[in-house]
């Protein structure tokens, strides 16, 4: 089950200053069974309908805002294939000839590709939906605190269902002079070649007093009295799949406009059916939420008809169901918190252990050598003190020359007499130069058994040559392989 909240917006006030304050709005809360969607699905169930302020509107999974038809201009233009940022800049130039005012303050939504141009490469003829940017921003800002997951903004002229081709057409009587326009022509700025005179239209007439006073009491003090609104009629006309317009007319203008009205099916609310100056409305079908919901659902099946585009497009985060992620997010936060606490506790334990070990090392150093003044590195100072005691006592260490030479002599006793070319002692290690062709593998195994570590000295010969060249001396470098011998680990 999913719920959808439909809200009809009032006409944009042309003579009232901003900011606009919204009053009560007509709404309908609808529940739809997702499992029954399809051609044979039943009508959605209307849970609630009426009028309420935005703060009192019920929450829903999807919010559908229906702009008044007179606030949205539908036109067509050849739209080039551009990225969204550049397309937004190019759109005002495409519609400036269709507007009587400046196109810059307008929000322009790009609709679907019209029939016949979908396979054309390059610019394709598309539907353009033009609305006032400031009005649309005020509407979306007013609904910013409403609880919903998805949001759609639809023009009202596309939210009335198309008249069936075989449906009976209600014709209004012709009263005045002969009409020169075609019966299907509409008084808009649409190009004449795009009009479809043979397609039946859908016409909805409502009382402007109920639409404005009950549906959108803008401002705390209304500037138009209800008596003035009572004589005005809000007209919504859909002439095709992607064509329609809206008008606000007085009684006399509405009676005169019926001569220009296209043939089609008429709908009217209770006030229009009782008092409108068109006799055909007295037998017209009732215009209510079932009519708007049916048309809006058909419109929602074509995502390109949504006016919430470019800067008004709904962000990715707004489409997430944060309520469904509350438990996983809380579990993730708990895991991270436990991990951080565990790491900090473990670090504190290790730090305390380190402090205990350092204190024990300092205590051992002070016990062995009480004359030590400052302790910076207890293990290093202990080794130095022991080394000084060993030197003072005359005892040798495995790194001295005699122990190293004795062990190396034991390991090299099987070498030929001429295999050893040089033997040096520097840096507490032996540097051995061996004759080329000596059995190095056997010597290294014997040295390992004697407790020595024998590695090739790859830098000794080059360093000696560089040193000799820098000093200018002619010290010869003994040819052969050079090896370093240290006590084994």
Which structure tokens are listed for 473? 């001396």
Dist CA 192 CA 201 (whole Å): 16
> DSSP secondary structure string, 114-126?
PTT-TT-SSSEEE
Pair 225, 253: CB distance under 8 Å: no
Closest C-alpha among 294, 233, 270 to residue 28: 294
Closest C-alpha among 258, 243, 223, 17 to residue 138: 17
Q: pTM for this one?
A: 0.59
Q: In what side-by-side order are the strands of the sheet with 73-79?
A: 73-79, 124-132, 106-113
Closest C-alpha among 175, 182, 157 to residue 242: 157
Closest C-alpha among 196, 199, 206, 184 to residue 260: 184
Which structure tokens are listed for 109? 């939504």
Q: Is 427 strand, coil or helix?
A: coil
Q: Which residues contact 251 (CB under 8 A, 6 or more apart)?
A: 231, 232, 233, 276, 277
Pair 202, 294: CB distance under 8 Å: no
Which structure tokens are listed for 48? 């609630």
Tell me 12's DSSP state.
P
pLDDT of the chain, 489 residues: tens digit per residue: 689 999 999 988 877 777 888 889 999 999 977 545 555 455 688 899 999 999 999 999 999 999 999 999 999 999 988 888 899 889 998 888 888 888 888 999 999 988 765 566 778 889 999 999 999 999 999 998 899 888 999 999 999 988 765 455 554 443 333 333 333 334 444 444 444 446 788 889 888 765 444 444 454 444 444 445 556 888 999 998 889 999 998 888 888 888 888 888 889 888 777 776 777 777 788 888 999 999 999 999 998 999 999 888 876 544 555 667 889 999 999 999 999 999 999 999 999 999 999 999 999 999 999 888 888 899 999 988 888 887 788 777 788 888 889 999 999 998 888 889 999 998 889 999 998 888 889 999 999 999 899 999 877 554 444 444 444 444 455 567 899 999 886
For residue 19, is the peptide bond before it cis, meaning its omega torsion is within 30 degrees of 0? Answer: yes
Q: Which residues contact 327 (CB under 8 A, 6 or more apart)?
A: none
């Amino acid at each position: 089950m999913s719920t959808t909240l439909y809200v009809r917006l009032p006409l944009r006030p042309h003579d009232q200053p901003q900011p606009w304050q919204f009053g009560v709005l007509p709404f309908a809360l609808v529940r739809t069974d997702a499992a029954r969607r399809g051609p044979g699905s039943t009508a959605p169930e209307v849970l609630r309908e009426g009028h309420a302020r935005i703060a009192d509107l019920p929450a829903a999974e999807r919010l559908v805002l229906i702009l008044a038809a007179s606030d949205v201009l539908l036109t067509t233009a050849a739209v080039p294939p551009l990225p969204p940022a550049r397309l937004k800049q190019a759109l005002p130039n495409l519609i400036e000839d269709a507007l009587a005012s400046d196109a810059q303050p307008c929000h322009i939504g790009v609709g679907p590709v019209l029939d016949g141009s979908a396979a054309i490469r390059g610019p394709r003829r598309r539907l353009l939906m033009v609305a006032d940017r400031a009005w649309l921003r005020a509407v979306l800002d007013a609904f910013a605190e409403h609880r919903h997951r998805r949001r759609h903004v639809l023009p009202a002229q596309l939210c009335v269902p198309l008249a069936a081709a075989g449906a009976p057409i209600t014709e209004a009587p012709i009263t005045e002079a002969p009409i020169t326009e075609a019966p299907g022509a509409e008084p808009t700025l649409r190009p004449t070649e795009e009009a479809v005179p043979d397609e039946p239209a859908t016409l909805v007439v409502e009382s402007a007093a109920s639409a404005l006073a009950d549906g959108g009491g803008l401002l705390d003090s209304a500037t138009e009295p209800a008596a003035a609104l009572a004589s005005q009629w809000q007209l919504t006309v859909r002439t095709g799949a992607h064509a329609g317009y809206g008008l606000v007319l007085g009684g006399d203008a509405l009676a005169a406009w019926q001569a220009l009205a296209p043939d089609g099916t008429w709908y009217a609310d209770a006030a229009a059916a009782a008092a409108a100056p068109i006799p055909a409305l007295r037998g017209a079908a009732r215009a209510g939420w079932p009519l708007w919901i049916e048309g809006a659902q058909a419109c929602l099946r074509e995502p390109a008809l949504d006016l919430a585009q470019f800067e008004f497009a709904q962000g990715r985060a707004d489409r997430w169901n944060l309520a469904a992620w509350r438990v996983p997010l809380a579990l993730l936060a708990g895991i991270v918190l436990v991990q951080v606490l565990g790491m900090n506790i473990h670090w504190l334990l290790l730090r305390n252990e380190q402090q205990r070990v350092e204190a024990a090392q300092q205590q051992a150093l002070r016990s062995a050598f009480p004359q030590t003044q400052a302790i910076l590195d207890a293990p290093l100072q202990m080794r130095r003190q022991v080394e000084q005691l060993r030197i003072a006592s005359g005892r040798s260490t495995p790194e001295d020359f005699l122990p190293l030479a004795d062990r190396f002599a034991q390991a090299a006793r099987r070498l030929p007499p001429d295999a050893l070319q040089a033997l040096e002692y520097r840096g507490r290690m032996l540097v051995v130069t061996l004759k080329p062709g000596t059995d190095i593998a056997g010597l290294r195994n014997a040295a390992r058994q004697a407790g020595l570590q024998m590695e090739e000295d790859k830098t000794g010969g080059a360093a000696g040559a560089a040193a000799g060249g820098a000093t200018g001396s002619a010290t010869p470098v003994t040819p052969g392989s050079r090896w370093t011998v240290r006590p084994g680990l």
